[in-house]
Amino acid sequence: MKFKDKHRFVKSNMKRNKTRVWMTILASTMGCAFLIMLASVGFAIHKTAIDDVMSYRLMNEIEIQKENGPLVEKDVKNLEKVKNVKAVSGKKYVPASEMSLGEYTVYAEVNSANIPSERKAGLQLEKGRMPKSKNEVIIGHHFAQELRKEMPENFTEGMSEEEAQKKIKELAYDRDLLNQTLTYHMKVDQPESKIDAEIKTVQVKVVGIKEKPKKEWMIDSSVLITDDLRDEIMPLLSEMDPELKNSDDSYSTVKVYTSSAEEVKEVSEKIKDEGYLTYSVVSELKELNIYFTLFKAGLIFIGGIAVLIASIGIFNTMTMAVTERSQDIGIMKAIGATPKTIKRIFLLESGYIGLWGVGLGTILAYLISYGVNFALPIIVEQVMNEKPPEDFILSYIPWSLTAIAVTICMSVTLLSGWRPAAKATTVDVLKALRRDV
């Protein structure tokens, strides 16, 4: 018997019991959709966690620390010699934070860095260029909004928090800071260690503004100066705070960059062999992936129970089909159909039921997933009067989840139809023709 003959035979039989077949397909659809939707929650949480980690850290970045003290110039030179290291970014803290522009003042985190190394490390600017001379600086994206006029006494008294923030913003600098010259005040951060001395100033020019942080809640009002400028101003600061004369020339942060994320693991191992401590997104993601793989496997297992329950309906439908068509089976055997052919016919029928169930279940799951992700932010905002976290999704269905769900559902469907199909091959021809079965 050719495939198209089997297909025609199965199709006519399914039409004969249309209601029962469609109810079985409906059960399979619900089971498949439940499996995909349940697991999609785990995939969504995993994706949100990965995106969150990757949004503020680079995949090819390795943070370096030393167990027995701070990192110094010699350590940076050693790290630059490690094979496949693209760049080493080292920043030194500068203990003076006050800068001003006319009547506007800001207290910013100031660090110095080797500019060519920062360029190789991939420092991205929204405007301007990298510093080329000693007194040129790069500022953070939010530097201007932190640069404010002095706040009058009791300026926000009697205002709500929201009103106070709005009023404070009116004091902020509202023009472009690119190519503006700032006055850098040589005042140390610790007031208790100050001595009476004239406060000197250094003029610095803003030549670059860093990109806006990817996270909406992150505020970057930092300032990056050249190492040459730091070497010039540290003696001035030492006049204000004699303890700074004894400070070492250590780095506050050191990061190593590779050309690609694939090289991070190998480079991290080599750096560890040199006696340093390392941390990278890749190592964090490895632990996250193990945890979430177990979590998703658990959800798929629970969803699989729903598919098993649906398979009972398929087993029942196919068993009844075999019983009702015993005479047909007897006739087929009498005209030469082999048990193998009969088994394939009934497996084909259960397979069709499974395909319809999987297809409709997958489409239903995608529709529910889209609806949930669309409606959830609106519901949360209406009920809690707050917006949910940016980029948060409750359901995410990657192609791999669809493939897993289809494999599980079709396997369970064929196993459910296997026993009735095997039973069909045992029908006695004579009893069937006498309608005695």
Which tokens is 401 given? 């989840």
Which pLDDT belongs to residue 51? 77
Does residue 140 form part of some domain? yes
Same domain, 43 and 166: no
All residues at 6 or more sequence positions from 329 whose CB lies less than 8 Å from its CB, including other chains: 322, 342, 424, 427, 432
Please tell me the pTM assigned to this model.
0.60
Q: How many CA atoms lie within 13 A of 117 on its CB side?
A: 20
Q: Which two tokens stand for residue 429?
A: 């021809």
- For residues 270 and 5, the answer to whether their CB atoms sit within 8 Å is no
> In terms of domains, do 241 and 324 share one?
no
The pLDDT tens digits of the residues spanning 2-26 come to 777 777 777 777 777 778 888 888 8
248 and 376 together in one domain = no
Can you list the positions of beta strands (E) in 319-435?
A: none
Q: Which domain holds residue 110?
A: 87-252
Tell me, yes or no, whether 91 lies in a domain: yes
- Residue 24 inside a domain? The answer is yes
Domain assignment present for residue 76? The answer is no
Whether 269 maps to a domain, the answer reads no
Sequential DSSP letters for 120-168: HHT--EEEE----STTEEEE-TTHHHH-EEPPPTTTTTT--HHHHHHHH
According to the model, what pLDDT value does residue 137 have?
95
113, 89 contact by CB (below 8 A): yes
Domain count, the chain: 2
Q: How far is CA 331 from CA 320, 366, 424, in A?
A: 18, 45, 12
Q: What is the mean pLDDT of the chain?
A: 84
Q: Residue 266: what pLDDT?
A: 87
Query: Are residue 196 and residue 297 in the same domain, yes or no?
Result: no
Calculate what percentage of the chain has a pLDDT beyond 70. Answer: 93
Crossing angle, helix 326-334 and helix 339-384, to 10 degrees? 140
In a domain, residue 79? The reply is no
Tally Cβ neighbours within 10 Å of residue 254. Answer: 22
Ramachandran angles phi, psi of 64, nearest 5°? -120, 135
87 three-class SS: strand
Question: Would you state the pLDDT for residue 21?
Answer: 83
Q: 248 and 99, same structural domain? A: yes
* Residue 45 and residue 127 in one domain: no
Going from the C-alpha of 53 to that of each of 44, 63, 88, 258, 286, the distances in angstroms are: 14, 14, 21, 18, 12
Domain match, 95 and 240 both: yes
Domain edge (last residue) among 196, 229, 252 = 252
For the chain, the residue count is 437
Burial 337-366 (b: 16+ CB within 10 A, else e): beeeebbbbbbbbbbbbbbbbbbbbbebbb
Tens of pLDDT, residues 119-174: 888 888 998 999 999 999 999 999 998 999 887 777 777 777 778 778 788 888 88
Q: Is residue 108 part of a domain?
A: yes
Q: Are residues 98 and 245 in the same domain?
A: yes
Domain end, chosen from 252, 272, 295, is at 252
Buried b (16+ CB within 10 A) or exposed e, 191-203: eeeeeeeeeebbe
State how far the alpha carbon of 150 is from the alpha carbons of 102, 173, 415, in Å: 11, 11, 77
Task: Write down the pLDDT at residue 246.
Answer: 67
Residues 135 and 187 in one domain: yes
Identify the pLDDT of residue 88: 92
Q: Do 190 and 320 share a domain, yes or no?
A: no
In this structure, are residues 71 and 420 in contact, taking their beta carbons and an 8 Å threshold? Answer: no
State the first-to-last Cα distance of the chain, in angstroms, to the nearest integer: 25
Any domain includes 120: yes
Domain end among 252, 273, 295: 252
417 shares a domain with 344 = yes
Q: 209 pairs with which residues across the strands?
A: 127, 139
Which parts of the chain have pLDDT scores under 50?
Answer: none
